[in-house]
Amino acid sequence: MNLRKLVGTLLLSWVFVCGQAKQQVDMDWWREGRFGMFIHWGLYSVAAGEWNGKPVDGIGEWIQNFAKVPNSEYEKLADKFTLSNYDPDAWVKLAKQAGARYIVFTTKHHEGFCLYPSDVSDFDIERTPYKRDPLKELVEACRRQGLKVGFYYSHRQDWREEDAAVMKNEYDGHYGKPRSEVKPNLDRYIKEKALSQMKELLTRYGKIDLLWYDTPFDLTKEQSQTFVNVVRELQPECIINGRVGYNLGDYGALGDNEMPCSRVNMDLEMVATMNHTWGYKKNDHDWKSPKDILCSLIECASRGVNYMINIGPKEDGTVPQPSVDIMNFIGNWMQANSESVYGTSGNPFNDNFPWGYATHKDNIIYLHLLREPLNRRIILKGLLSPVEKAEILSSGMAVPVSDKGHYALTIPAELDYGQIPVVKLVCKAPVRFSEDNYMNENIVSIPVANGKIIPGKEGSLSIAEGGNTQNFHAGTGKLQLKCEIDEPGAYKVRIFTSRHWRRTFAEGAKITLKVDDNPSFNSVLMQKDGELANVRQNSYPETWSDVGTVNFRQKGTKELELAVNSTGTFSRLGFFGEDIQNESENNIRFMRIELIKETR
């Protein structure tokens, strides 16, 4: 065999082996489960958001960075990390009763402290009064109770190690020397510590179902690939999350508390906090309501996305009572309604319904009612298959259905919308749906992800993982959209955008919008006319701009065309943690356009 053939044979063999490893990854349980519980726990749980008796702004697990605490001082927290009330079986029971199908545990966060005995570093659990291996105990508890288990590992950031320094975020004295003397060597850190610890985690605890990396930041693609390879080699069935970097994971990456704004066609996971922090912070009492968090789980399912909600235990292992209450509220709802979440594939309609969310699987559609629909009527204009039966999922109460061109449901009176009732529709298989955007309760909601992209002179805009536009500016083309209007008349045009919380609403952003045969909105200045109040408001604020009114003389199909004239200027609001998405400033992050019929 000549050299060229030999190289070709070896290359094909390597591709085959990598392909085999990729094929062995079991995504079925993850897609079926839809719901997980995150656990952030570490020395930051001892600090609990304060340093030297003073509150520190920002998320709790970043306190060493925000308070500029030298390693020599920060490490003293280990003496107070008692784990005296740590009960892994109770943690797993909390997750299981809530309906979560998997748990992800922080084995090492950015602080560099390992919550297991590591041969690679002495900055680990053996420095604490606990001495035992809490990770091993949690894994065993998960197996006893039938939950899948995942490990979080901060693979790029490690504030304990000078070689892993991210110089723009470091401060004088962090490593016991001036910042100017810090000489990081990231390759050495990866080789000597990170990969060695990954091998410990992947060989000591039996089968691991999910490896959850974080903050790839400035890793090269080759460096990210090494973190994939070690998992493929030692745990070929283990799922790898998207934050390993460079789209090398088994599912995509969203930012913290980022919700897709429409149904997605890829595997994604939203990770979310119950208040504003991941690690325990004793003065963060701004807890989201149990119903709002349950709604986030349902909304994720309607987008075809997994939801993982975080608990941040105290240093002794006690879970804050609001977290327990929220998980119990979710669990009570899931006991009667979990089939509308598990194994579903998202909203089959191209609509955002004003009254709530839809999921479906096979020939069944689930309608989640956050409030009473207008006149207690729901008209499913995009459903093309006959409805054989409709009922309230939790009680079996019949829901009347009529067919007068579109299937219409008459919702029973006096439902408890605080408990989010679910209507279950059984349709004749196979179920078919229209791809059009229809009016619901006098509103046409048009996700930008449904649009047709027309490239520009400088390339093309695109649709991001979250269903919003990215790389959308004056030179990257335009977006064409369609919708169906039921009635002629005047309609307010409302445009929804979002941003990362560290940025202000962009000043000077201008757009051009053509709406069917109406006069164009040429170079309209985008104003912040309102902001949605929801659980994502402190992470990805969602703002609307009312750009004017259009008049339609006839009902029917209407066409819209959106272009950007200028993206405007953001103001930075500070640094209180990582920006996973590294959002471009040369972009307007459009979510959807609404046409709202004006009524008198």
Q: Which residues contact 564 (CB under 8 A, 6 or more apart)?
A: 472, 473, 474, 476, 509, 510, 511, 512, 588
Q: With b meaning 16 or more CB within 10 Å and e meaning fewer, what string describes 392-428?
A: bbbeeeebebeeeeebbbebbeebeeebbbbbbbebe
- Retrieve residue 338's tokens: 């979990």
pLDDT in single tens digits along all 600 residues of the chain: 443 333 333 433 443 344 444 447 889 999 999 999 999 999 999 999 999 999 999 999 999 999 999 999 999 999 999 999 999 999 999 999 999 999 999 999 999 999 999 999 999 999 999 989 999 999 999 999 999 999 999 999 999 999 999 998 899 999 999 999 999 999 999 999 999 999 999 999 999 999 999 999 899 999 999 999 999 999 999 999 999 999 999 999 999 999 999 999 999 999 999 999 999 999 999 999 999 999 999 999 999 999 999 999 999 999 999 999 999 999 999 999 999 999 999 999 987 899 999 999 999 999 999 999 999 999 999 999 999 999 999 999 999 999 988 999 999 999 999 999 999 999 999 999 998 999 999 999 999 999 999 999 999 999 999 999 999 999 999 999 999 999 999 999 999 999 988 888 999 999 999 999 899 999 999 999 999 999 999 899 999 999 999 999 999 999 999 999 999 998 877 665 655 556 788 999 999 999 999 987
Domains within the chain, CATH numbers bracketed: 20-340 (3.20.20.80), 356-435 (2.60.40.1180), 443-597 (2.60.120.260)
Residues 6+ apart with CB under 8 A from 506: 499, 526, 567, 568, 569, 570, 588
Give the pLDDT confidence of 120-178 residue by residue, as tens digits.
Answer: 999 999 999 998 999 999 999 999 999 999 999 999 999 999 999 999 889 999 999 99
CA–CA gap between residue 234 and residue 229 (Å, rounded): 9
Strand duo 35-39 + 102-108: pairing = parallel
Q: Which two tokens stand for residue 42?
A: 């570490």
3-state secondary structure 91-113: HHHHHHHHCCCEEEEEEECCCCC
Which token pair is 81? 């990390």
Cα dihedral value 332, 286, 276, 90, nearest 10: -40
Check residue 352 and give its pLDDT: 81
d(CA 422, CA 297): 14
Which of 125, 123, 191 has the alpha carbon at shortest distance from 155?
191
Distance of CA 482 to the CA centre of its chain: 28
Cβ neighbours for 228, distance < 8 A, ≥ 6 positions apart: 240, 244, 248, 249
DSSP annotation of 433 reads B
**Rounded Cα gap, residues 549 and 280, in angstroms:** 48
Q: CA nearest 537: which of 592, 499, 495, 568? A: 499
Q: What is the pLDDT of residue 16?
A: 39
- Structural contact between residues 315 and 231, judged by C-beta atoms closer than 8 angstroms: no
Q: Which residues pair with 44 in a beta bridge?
A: none
Give the helix/strand (H/E) hosting 454.
Answer: strand 452-454
Q: CB of 153 within 8 A of CB of 120?
A: no
Residue 143 Cα to chain centre, angstroms: 26
